[in-house]
Chain A
């Protein structure tokens, strides 16, 4: 028997950097120097802070390109960036800058537009705490996930990518110690795209995967 799974939770508190941009040039310049934590926040922070969960654009940069600059082309391109495809935040920064500079090159007017609303570079402090709950057996994890707070889902499934050796989620990492039996489940979990979704939808999706991989005799379904 391996180590029990310790359910952690996390809460985020946003912090304004005081840095802002009111046109695309300022945005590009600030983007070059803003701390990596800001880039992380503007891609992922929306999941934990008070936020409308049906945004037109998934990250704050794309949302500002549309609501601030009214440039749908730039907004669409920025929105398509998937942060999970970048190995580090500097790569993500480079990707953002490439798209912004490409747009500045191809469109004369965008360089002169004054945004309706400014972009406020923001970062956050994250507090991680122990829920006190422990899961000892893998077959209990699925049921437990469906009851986890959004903070726990964020910590174990999204934040884990920064912490774990193979940039996986904590659930897959923990299941790997139980041998081949849980490999399909572990691999299935690792394929879940945590972007373009909300934490409650993600929780539901993870619960569904556990149901699909539950032992035959328990569910009566094919595993």
Chain B
């Protein structure tokens, strides 16, 4: 069974037919995606499945990564934070490592990128690549997955010169987009319903996590799955949990998958452990990048999923939780606002107290909790699955190849 046939069962025939029809005019085009890691983080997860799907539709799609040393990743992690508004130190040695790494990778990738029909460059890490391809023949598109609505200005001033010359850019939300002299396309990301992180699990696979992590199945489980990053506010989640504890015997799971380009994670993890102290009902799980089935199971055993971010890109962990029929209590920021609708799919909150209030409400009104979970799953299946994402990519590629026409009749 082909990948696309597998998606029939999830999105139906019309959705798959639509992809074939849209891809017809793009068949044979050489499409290359470039990012900085093959595992860890939402971008790698999306590309893992998006590339084979494009190939099945007849596109000559490839995925390349740029590689660097620790100073490169340290720099790009700083950039990530800076794009989200943090004041960062833009040290000359790190900037030099950034530019040199891109120059070196440009040579490695020259053959693959120079003649490609469409090149997608993901996030700031490989953004300077374009400047090394003056003889490029195709369209180059910069895909920014980060909330850059209020970036650290000196950083944006620096990065802008690398991204200005792209033919187009893609942003997850209009709020994130920076003014640039080319079309600013808006494409929300997605989750893959067939991946290990989102597929249906066998009972034994779910049972395993209760045993492995010593979780009591008789008491409510609150979970936040995300990297140990200050913007995800794991400490705020612990504060909310403590406010709940006097009313409900809840257990809290804070599970963070590491990413190979995230050197700051360890520092935040240590801070979170210190705040949690020796509370046996706070489970802090440091998961390897391939712990997808575990994450899937943890979300499924949860009563409520939290994503109490103070800054967020799109918030794919929210999407994943909704796909599993869980209401989400999320920070009132970024793409979480596009997914969490008060009293429908969860609640948006602005403080640990707000999170605690909504958790109490949902634990008290179990029927409402179930209804909201069901609605969240339906909403996710209609809007945030990989097939919708792929359709938008195909539409965008068609649009980019046709220029600025408002209406393109194939």
Contact = CB atoms under 8 A, between A and B. Distances in A.
Interface stretch (B12-20, B201-209, B354-362): B12-20
Interface string A24-55: 00000000000001000000000001111110
B379 A151 contact: no
A17 B171 CA distance: 12
Give 9 nearest A-B pairs by CB, closest first.
A120-B174, A50-B383, A14-B186, A16-B184, A149-B14, A11-B395, A18-B179, A129-B410, A125-B399
Contacts of A50: 188, 338, 383-384, 388
Contacts of A15: 183-186
B174 A11 contact: no
Contacts of B187: 13-14
Q: Interface centre among A122, A125, A126, by most B CB within 10 Å?
A: A125
Contacts of A124: 406
20 contacts: A11-B391, A13-B185, A14-B174, A15-B186, A16-B174, A18-B179, A20-B174, A50-B383, A52-B345, A52-B379, A120-B174, A122-B174, A125-B406, A126-B407, A126-B408, A127-B398, A128-B408, A128-B409, A129-B24, A131-B17
B348 to A, nearest CB: 11
A18 B174 CA distance: 8
Nearest to B383: A50
A12 interface: yes
Given A14-B185, A122-B174, A128-B410, A149 B15 contact: yes
Given A11-B395, A125-B399, A16 B186 contact: yes
A2 interface: no
B392 interface: yes
A9 B398 CA distance: 14
A186 B24 CA distance: 33
B383 A9 contact: no
Given A15-B183, A52-B344, A126 B406 contact: yes
A148 interface: yes
Nearest to B171: A16
Contacts of B175: 117-118, 120
Interface in B359-409: 379, 382-384, 388, 391-392, 394-396, 398-399, 404-409
A148 B14 contact: yes
A123 to B, nearest CB: 8
Given A18-B179, A54-B344, 18 more contacts: A11-B391, A11-B395, A12-B395, A13-B399, A14-B185, A14-B186, A16-B174, A16-B184, A50-B338, A50-B384, A54-B341, A118-B175, A120-B175, A122-B186, A127-B398, A128-B410, A129-B21, A147-B13
B177 interface: yes
Nearest to B344: A54
A102 interface: no
Interface in A56-113: none
Given A50-B383, A151-B18, A13 B407 contact: no
Interface residues of B, number: 45
Interface string B137-179: 0000000000000000000000000000000000100110101
B392 A13 contact: yes
A51 B15 CA distance: 17
Interface residues of A, number: 35
Contacts of B395: 11-13, 125, 127
A128 B344 contact: no
A170 B99 CA distance: 55
Contacts of A14: 174, 185-187
A148 B398 CA distance: 22
A201 interface: no
A102 B362 CA distance: 41
Nearest to B24: A129
A51 B379 CA distance: 8
Given A50-B383, A54-B344, A129-B22, A18 B406 contact: no
Contacts of B13: 147
Contacts of A125: 395, 399, 404-408
Nearest to A118: B175
Q: Interface centre among A9, A52, A53, A147, by most B CB within 10 Å?
A: A52
A132 interface: yes
A11 B388 CA distance: 10
A204 interface: no
A187 interface: no
B21 A127 contact: no
Q: Interface centre among A11, A12, A122, A151, by most B CB within 10 Å?
A: A11
B410 A127 contact: yes
A77 to B, nearest CB: 23
Nearest to A200: B382
